[in-house]
Amino acid sequence: MTAVSIIIPAFNEEAALGALVREIRESYPDFEILVVNDGSDDATAEVAAAAGARVHNHPYNIGNGASIKSGIRQARGEYLVFMDGDGQHKPADIQRLLDYLPQYDMVVGERDRRGQSSLFRACGNFLYNRLASYVTKFPVKDLTSGFRVIKADIAQQFIDLLPNTYSYPTTITLGVLRTGRSVKYHPLDVRRRADGRSKVRLLPDGVRFLMMIIKICTLYSPLRVFLPVSAFMFLLGVGYYGYTFLSWGRFTNMSALLFTTSIVIFMMGMVSEQICQMRFEHREPEK
C-alpha cells in the first residue's frame, strides 16, 4: 500500500482533537497521523500524542499555513492528507478522496452551503471561487477548503509560496492548476466545529484572502489580471473622450492620460507574462 500521511494543523483544539485522531487511527491503522501543534496553550499536544498521533510542536503560534508547511516537511508518506483538527472533517471521507489518486494530482473535499459557517462567508467564498476560476480557466468549486489530498512531491514544490496564514488552500490550489496539474473536487458533508466557533476572522482574514488571490494570480497568470484593468482604462478613456467631444468638440489631456495608462498597463502585463513563462520553464526539476 502506498504510504499516506495525514497532516492536522492544530491550535488549542484539545476539545475535538483526541476523538478525531482515535477515529482516524481506528479506520486507517497503517496511515501516519502527524499533528502539528502550533504553539497551543492548552493540552492539544498531550491529547494528540495520547490518541496515537506523532506530534510536531511549534514553540509559539505561527499560523495555520506554517503548520501545513511543517507537516509537509515532516511527513513520510507519498500522499498527503490535509484536514482540520476541529472535528469538522469526517475521517470516513479520507478514503473517498484517496480513491481518485494517482489519476489526479490533488483532490479537494468540496463543501456544500451547509458546510459554510455563515451566509456572508458563503457569498465571499462564491466570489473567490469565481475569481479563481477566471484566472485558472478551471471550475474552482471550493477554493478555501482545508480538506484535501495531494501527492507529496507536488506539495513540496510549493512550500516556499505558501503563506503562514489561513489562506494556504488558495495558494496551493492556484499553484497546482497554473502549473498544468490535475485537480478533482469531490462533494462532502462536514460537521460543525466542536466549540461552534470558527477561528477565521471575517474582515481581516477576508481581505487577506482577497489580497492573496490577487497576488497569486499575478504570480501565475499576470495577463489575466493586467488585461481587464487595461481594458477598463481604455474604455474609460473612450467614454470620457466621447463626452468631451460632444460637449466641447475637443480631445482633452485626461483622455490622453487614460489611453496612455491603458497601454502602459497592457505592456506591463505582457512583460510580466513573459517573465512568468520563463520562470516556469526552469522550475520543473530535471529527471
Last residue of a domain, one of 169, 196, 220: 220
Q: Provide the domain count of the chain.
A: 2
Is 187 within a domain?
yes
Same domain, 26 and 144: yes
Nearest CA to 259 out of 222, 228, 230, 223 is that of 230
| DSSP tag of 60 | S
Q: Which residues contact 148 (CB under 8 A, 6 or more apart)?
A: 81, 82, 97, 106, 107, 108, 109, 169
177 Cα distance to chain centroid: 11
Q: Are residues 32 and 11 in the same domain?
A: yes
Evaluate whether residue 286 is within a structural domain.
no
117-163 confidence digits (pLDDT tens):
556 667 777 888 888 898 888 999 998 899 999 999 999 998 988 88
User: Are 183 and 232 part of one and the same domain?
Assistant: no
The string of pLDDT tens digits covering residues 243-260 is: 999 999 889 999 999 999
Please give the residue range of the domain that contains residue 96: 4-220
Q: Strand (E) positions, 28-126? A: 32-38, 54-58, 79-82, 106-111
Cell of 203: 474582515
What proportion of the chain, given as a percentage, has pLDDT over 90?
A: 61
Query: pTM for this structure?
Result: 0.82
Domain edge (last residue) among 191, 220, 249? 220
Domain finish residue from 171, 202, 220: 220
Residues 115, 162: one domain? yes
Same domain flag for 54 and 27: yes
